[in-house]
Chains A and B, each alone.
Chain A
Amino acid sequence: MAADLSGILVAPPTRRDKAAGIYRKLKRWPLVPVFLLSLVVIAGVFAPWLAPHDPEKGELRDRNIPPAWSGGVKATKTVVAQLSINERGTSVTLRDAQAINPDAQIGDEIEISVQPEGSTKFLLGTDQLGRDVLSRVIYGARISLIVSIVTLGVGGSIGVAMGLAAGWYGGFIDEFLMRLVDIKLAIPLILIALVLVITLGQSLWIIVTVLCLFIWPRFARQVRGEVLQLKHMDYVSLAKVSGASTVRILFIHIFPGTINTLIVVATLQVGIVILLESTLSFLGAGVPPPTPAWGSMVSDGRDKLAGGVWWISTFPGLAIMITVVSLNLFGDWLRDTLDPRLRQLE
């Protein structure tokens, strides 16, 4: 079907068609993802100027304040002399009760605020140590940004070099590298990463090193595939005949041919790096506290959920999701625009 319709559908468009096409292209530009991604990048780069509070310090009396729009929660509780653990939800001690109403007696019912009202001072509320959630989310972008840029640079370069070598030389090197890729898929890398981080100490550089282990195979595989195709191109043979060195051929003649693919792979990999980094920090093997990282912030808020304190976990998690969704949408768009052949690429 497709073969025979092609003649019809690819008919030369008229001028009006062209105008419509440009409009459609504009409309199909990923404006929303690009906007959101710029927000994240700006937040990361200009965090010290943007954040309203110090992300690492907070006043304990400001702890667990809900977001600005929250009206607070009040509950009626019974005043008791002594509070046992399982009465916490329904009872309050005499001392606390008298702080609100000096006339309170044991056995009275008293309305008490269990969750304070939100304040415009802390737009997204504060965490269990009274730190501003918004400021921490803004600073968290910084960690994610640094980790993804460095990981992508280092891990990507390793992957590209491996892929070039495997594709160009073939044979044993190729077989070895591809087996390595296969094995990498089968190893519970996250566990090994955890062990490495815990044993060697939690630092940004160790985390980046570990993340590089995760991402190089994807690059290697893709570049290898491209090289296998490109190396039989006439211009490559020509360069070979004219005596260009292997390194020159690989970097001047072959590497540029893989760039489109690499851009797409890199964009989609950033999302994976951000997810992995946040997973490590969630599990307690990320950048050491008190430095704000999105993953560890989600983990901080986990225990507070039962008390209705939802905002500590929700906002950093949303930040991760929005970033990764935008990256994926942008990556999909790049792929469709630069290189539709990559449609299978996940």
Chain B
Amino acid sequence: MATVTRVNTETVLEVKDLRTYFRTRWGTVKAVDGISFDLRKGETLGIVGESGCGKSVTMLSLMRLIPIPPGRIVSGEIILDGDDLVQLSEDEMAQMRGKKIALIIQDPMTSLNPVFSIGDQVEEAIKIHQDLPKRSIAEAALQVLRKVNIPAAESRVKDYPHQMSGGMRQRVVGAIGISCQPQVLIADEPTTSLDVTIQAQYLKLLKDLQKDSDLSLIFITHDFGIVAKMCDRVAVMYAGRIVEHGSVRDIFNNPSHPYTEALLASVPKMDRDVERLYSIEGQPPPLHNLPVGCSFADRCPSVMDKCREQYPETTTVSEGHSANCWKLE
């Protein structure tokens, strides 16, 4: 099921106890509340959860693109290549973005600037981070566009975004992401607005690019199908925290947190006939007003008294597989 890629043991990115809070009219929203994970070279990590679970805020925190105010990284470390991104000044961080850590955004239809040509937008990324003469920049941009399989790239650089299809635009966004050979590439639901065939092509492209350059990928998604296809490891997020973390095989074969089980149960399966799709009862708790104990307690089928009193500790299920649930004690 999971494509096993060659995984080094060298850690590229390490996130420790990251907390990002938003000040809103209802109080402080703990969108990301103490998450830790690491990412190794050439590895793909999937961050999965419902919308509003904090996965996109995690992604924005890693890029340091949280809108301030109302948001703020309250504490934690994001160590990339020896630097703690949380401590960098805005200018230093700008130097990191695109060069060491890059981003591919959800919506290809709106993520390119309508008034600049494709070529300009790819070249800009290169120009910022590499001190090259003008000709070489144009050449490099062309190369990147070829890499993401844009047909007739040399004639399309002069095109504007509105002249391209959604799939093509998504490739351009991808090209911008990889243009400076970043160490970490974050893909935020990169395929949700594409149709299925184009989605498959795009995922394959990402996979190929990863193999070529030993790129580490973080996939932000709610789609377990993509996780199964793309990822080596998975972190399941719920209400701003990582509730289960392990290899794709562990998560799929031995889900240890009731939330993970519920999520997997709600994925439609081709090989089984079911009357109705399983869906999780209830709503995630409001993030400004989290319950004292486990955030999932109210929706959990196997809830215990203890769950409402204290947040469960991280329990190791097996080597590299951990979950936060009292029933594992």
Q: Which residues of A contact B (CB under 8 A)?
A: 1, 3-9, 11-14, 17, 20, 24
Q: What are 6 pairs between A and B in contact, CB < 8 Å?
A: A4-B51, A4-B52, A6-B51, A8-B22, A8-B29, A12-B286
Q: Is the pair A11, B26 in contact by a Cβ cutoff of 8 Å?
A: yes
Looking at the assembled complex, report how far the CB atom of B48 sits from the nearest CB atom of chain A, in whole angstroms: 14
Question: How far, in angstroms, from A17 to B27 measured CA to CA in the complex?
Answer: 9
**B86 CB–A CB distance under 8 Å:** no
**B106 CB–A CB distance under 8 Å:** yes
C-beta contact mask, B13-39 vs A, less than 8 Å → 1, else 0? Answer: 000000000101110010100000000
Looking at the assembled complex, report how far the CB atom of A200 sits from the nearest CB atom of chain B, in whole angstroms: 49
Question: How far, in angstroms, from A3 to B109 measured CA to CA in the complex?
Answer: 15
**Which listed residue, A1, A12, A17, touches B56 by the CB 8 Å rule?**
A1
Interface residues on B, range: 20 to 34
Known: A4-B51, A4-B52, A14-B289. A9 touches B24 (CB 8 A): yes
User: Which residues of B129-185 have CB atoms within 8 Å of chain A's CB atoms?
Assistant: none
Looking at the assembled complex, report how far the CB atom of B47 sits from the nearest CB atom of chain A, in whole angstroms: 12
**B60 CB–A CB distance under 8 Å:** yes
Question: How far, in angstroms, from A5 to B77 measured CA to CA in the complex?
Answer: 22
Residues of A within 8 A of B283 (CB): 12
Looking at the assembled complex, report how far the CB atom of B21 sits from the nearest CB atom of chain A, in whole angstroms: 11
**Which listed residue, B54, B106, B288, touches A11 by the CB 8 Å rule?**
B288
Question: How far, in angstroms, from A241 to B269 measured CA to CA in the complex?
Answer: 42
Q: Is the pair B67, A8 in contact by a Cβ cutoff of 8 Å?
A: no
C-beta contact mask, B260-301 vs A, less than 8 Å → 1, else 0? Answer: 000000000000000000000001111111000000000000
Question: How far, in angstroms, from A7 to B29 measured CA to CA in the complex?
Answer: 11
Most buried by B among A1, A3, A6: A1
Q: Is the pair A6, B286 in contact by a Cβ cutoff of 8 Å?
A: no
Closest A residue to B55 using CB positions = A4
Closest A residue to B285 using CB positions = A11
Q: Is the pair A11, B287 in contact by a Cβ cutoff of 8 Å?
A: yes
Looking at the assembled complex, report how far the CB atom of B252 sits from the nearest CB atom of chain A, in whole angstroms: 25
Q: Is the pair B26, A4 in contact by a Cβ cutoff of 8 Å?
A: no
Looking at the assembled complex, report how far the CB atom of B133 sits from the nearest CB atom of chain A, in whole angstroms: 36
Q: Is the pair B286, A11 in contact by a Cβ cutoff of 8 Å?
A: yes
Give the A-B pair count, Cβ closer than 8 A: 47
**Interface of B: prevailing SS:** loop
Looking at the assembled complex, report how far the CB atom of A89 sits from the nearest CB atom of chain B, in whole angstroms: 59
Known: A9-B24, A11-B26. A4 touches B286 (CB 8 A): no
Q: Is the pair A6, B52 in contact by a Cβ cutoff of 8 Å?
A: yes
Residues of A within 8 A of B60 (CB): 1
Residues of A within 8 A of B29 (CB): 8-9, 11
Question: How far, in angstroms, from A217 to B53 measured CA to CA in the complex?
Answer: 48
Known: A6-B52, A7-B52, A14-B289. A1 touches B67 (CB 8 A): yes
**B323 CB–A CB distance under 8 Å:** no
Residues of B within 8 A of A6 (CB): 51-52
Residues of B within 8 A of A5 (CB): 22, 31, 52, 56-57
Looking at the assembled complex, report how far the CB atom of A15 sits from the nearest CB atom of chain B, in whole angstroms: 12
Q: Is the pair B24, A4 in contact by a Cβ cutoff of 8 Å?
A: no
Question: How far, in angstroms, from A182 to B285 measured CA to CA in the complex?
Answer: 53
Q: Is the pair B289, A8 in contact by a Cβ cutoff of 8 Å?
A: no
Q: Is the pair A3, B106 in contact by a Cβ cutoff of 8 Å?
A: yes
Looking at the assembled complex, report how far the CB atom of A3 sits from the nearest CB atom of chain B, in whole angstroms: 7
Residues of B within 8 A of A9 (CB): 24, 29
Starting from the known contacts A3-B51, A3-B106, A13-B26, 7 additional A-B residue pairs (CB-CB under 8 Å) come to A1-B56, A1-B67, A4-B51, A7-B51, A7-B284, A8-B54, A11-B26
Residues of A within 8 A of B54 (CB): 8
Residues of B within 8 A of A12 (CB): 283, 286
Residues of B within 8 A of A1 (CB): 56, 60, 67
Most buried by A among B22, B51, B285: B51
Q: Is the pair B106, A8 in contact by a Cβ cutoff of 8 Å?
A: no
Question: How far, in angstroms, from A5 to B29 measured CA to CA in the complex?
Answer: 10
Question: How far, in angstroms, from A183 to B296 measured CA to CA in the complex?
Answer: 63
Residues of A within 8 A of B22 (CB): 5, 8
Most buried by B among A5, A6, A8, A9: A8
Looking at the assembled complex, report how far the CB atom of B264 sits from the nearest CB atom of chain A, in whole angstroms: 21
Looking at the assembled complex, report how far the CB atom of A177 sits from the nearest CB atom of chain B, in whole angstroms: 29
Residues of A within 8 A of B53 (CB): 7
Question: How far, in angstroms, from A27 to B50 measured CA to CA in the complex?
Answer: 36
Residues of B within 8 A of A8 (CB): 22, 29, 31, 52, 54, 286-288
Residues of B within 8 A of A13 (CB): 26
Closest A residue to B66 using CB positions = A1
C-beta contact mask, B74-99 vs A, less than 8 Å → 1, else 0? Answer: 00000000000000000000000000
Residues of A within 8 A of B26 (CB): 11, 13, 17
Question: How far, in angstroms, from A1 to B110 measured CA to CA in the complex?
Answer: 12
Looking at the assembled complex, report how far the CB atom of A241 sits from the nearest CB atom of chain B, in whole angstroms: 33
Looking at the assembled complex, report how far the CB atom of A159 sits from the nearest CB atom of chain B, in whole angstroms: 33
Question: How far, in angstroms, from A328 to B50 measured CA to CA in the complex?
Answer: 43
Residues of A within 8 A of B287 (CB): 8, 11
Question: How far, in angstroms, from A11 to B29 measured CA to CA in the complex?
Answer: 10
Closest A residue to B27 using CB positions = A17
Question: How far, in angstroms, from A7 to B240 measured CA to CA in the complex?
Answer: 12
Looking at the assembled complex, report how far the CB atom of A16 sits from the nearest CB atom of chain B, in whole angstroms: 9
Closest A residue to B239 using CB positions = A8
Closest B residue to A17 using CB positions = B26
Closest B residue to A24 using CB positions = B25
Residues of A within 8 A of B289 (CB): 11, 14
Looking at the assembled complex, report how far the CB atom of A1 sits from the nearest CB atom of chain B, in whole angstroms: 7
Question: How far, in angstroms, from A155 to B254 measured CA to CA in the complex?
Answer: 72
Closest B residue to A11 using CB positions = B286
Residues of A within 8 A of B55 (CB): 4
Residues of B within 8 A of A11 (CB): 26, 29, 285-289
Residues of A within 8 A of B31 (CB): 5, 8
Question: How far, in angstroms, from A66 to B57 measured CA to CA in the complex?
Answer: 64
Residues of A within 8 A of B67 (CB): 1
Question: How far, in angstroms, from A185 to B51 measured CA to CA in the complex?
Answer: 47
Looking at the assembled complex, report how far the CB atom of B237 sits from the nearest CB atom of chain A, in whole angstroms: 12
Residues of B within 8 A of A14 (CB): 289
Looking at the assembled complex, report how far the CB atom of A325 sits from the nearest CB atom of chain B, in whole angstroms: 28
